[in-house]
Amino acid sequence: MDNEKLPLEGVRIIEMGSLLAGPFTGRLLGDFGAEIIKIEAPDKKDPMRDWGKQKDGHGLWWPIQSRNKKSITLNLRVKEGQELFKQLVREADAIIENFRPGTLEKWGLSYEILKEINPGIVMVRTSGFGQTGPYKDRAGFGSVGEAMGGLRYVTGFPDRPPSRIGISIGDTLAALFATIGCLTALYEKKESGKGQVVDTAIYEAVFSVMESIIPDYLLTGYIRERMGNILPGVAPSNIYLTKDDTYIVIGANADGVFKRLCQAMGRPELSDHPKYATHHARSENMKELDLLIEDWTRTLSAETSLKLLEEHGVPSGLIYSAKEILEDPQYKSRDMIITTQHEHLGDFPMPGIVPKLSRTPGKVRHVGPESIGKHNEYVYKQILKISENEMNRLKESQII
């Protein structure tokens, strides 16, 4: 890295809100050097501090979600706290918030007011349904966004109710789009000198990755349904049981890759068979084709079948739990499992940085601050130039 300088160094972002979507946006920006100042209420910590598994009384999700951030306390529900926040806005480039729409307006902290204080401020707003529309006032968690964005409808098996993915995918998708919006607005500000609002709705973030479901329906009348481990019209792409009762994933839906799969199976003639020679033919005969492939994988161990598939250039792999991830040399070689010091737990493992930048890569400088308001002194004294006496008064008044 050139002079160890991070690519977003010098960008100061105030993070408001709690739990997932907003804070995950802050985590992503902080990974690449943005100074993230996270606000928590003096009397109400972010619930994320207690989410996930616990080790010796310490939550194991918070150190990851809040890594690289500074923690301050500030009561935004009272006038004096709101005035302090406005002072912070003068010194910031962007704000991240994920309150229900109208909350900041109720506190006298609308974008219209804040842009008068700092015309270049970028306000990144993430909510269930966005800042406009008939549903804007509804509470909207990621689970609801996943449902109304169309994802839950197609997740699971056809003979069972809709299922969820095993992570909070709606919130993290929204955070990814919010991060893109934030960076786009900051880039545009270099030209215009003006900030703007980045409005991300969770249901829209989910809907945006739902591929062709709308033209499928409007132009052909087709509604994609739950299909278990397959994708409609894409074959072969499934899980297959091996001789040692292990499932492996094989994706060989492109014509060239399918030919290589047939060679690996010792059945090269299948690639020219009318039922399997083309993408559409394989789609129409998906079940039959999957049975043929599993008849082959059942004769081999997972290790042997994966070795054969790799030799023939066929995308394939095991289905990993955390245990297999930690043992995999690819994860290790790309620094995807990193260890940072935790104040109470010592060495703390967590996921590495994504994406990888060749010249100015991101960096995890520290885990999420263990104590609430750990950086009050730095932010209020060094950035806002508040005196020691005034700091004591603000603490006694429970403003900070």
What DSSP assignment string belongs to 191-218?
HH----EEEEEHHHHHHHTSTTHHHHHH
What DSSP assignment string belongs to 99-132?
SPTTHHHHTT--HHHHHHH-TT-EEEEEESS-SS
Determine the Cα–Cα distance for residues 189 and 266; give it in Å rounded to an integer: 59
Determine the Cα–Cα distance for residues 22 and 216; give it in Å rounded to an integer: 33
Determine the Cα–Cα distance for residues 82 and 104; give it in Å rounded to an integer: 10
> From the centroid of its chain, how far is CA 246?
29
- Tally of CB atoms within 10 A around 268: 13
| Cis peptide leading into residue 158 (ω within 30°) | no
H or E stretch at 90: helix 79-90
Determine the Cα–Cα distance for residues 297 and 305; give it in Å rounded to an integer: 6
Determine the Cα–Cα distance for residues 253 and 285; give it in Å rounded to an integer: 12
Strands 12-15 and 35-40: parallel
Contact in structure between 28 and 175 (CB atoms under 8 Å): yes
Tell which residue, 121, 56, 49, 136, has the closest CA to residue 91.
Answer: 121
Q: Tokens 């689970």 appear where?
A: 143
Determine the Cα–Cα distance for residues 342 and 112; give it in Å rounded to an integer: 40
Contact in structure between 64 and 368 (CB atoms under 8 Å): yes
- Token pair, residue 316, equals 């394939």
Helix 21-31 and helix 169-192, axial crossing angle in degrees, nearest 10:
60
Determine the Cα–Cα distance for residues 53 and 293; give it in Å rounded to an integer: 39
Which residues participate in catalysis according to the annotation? 171
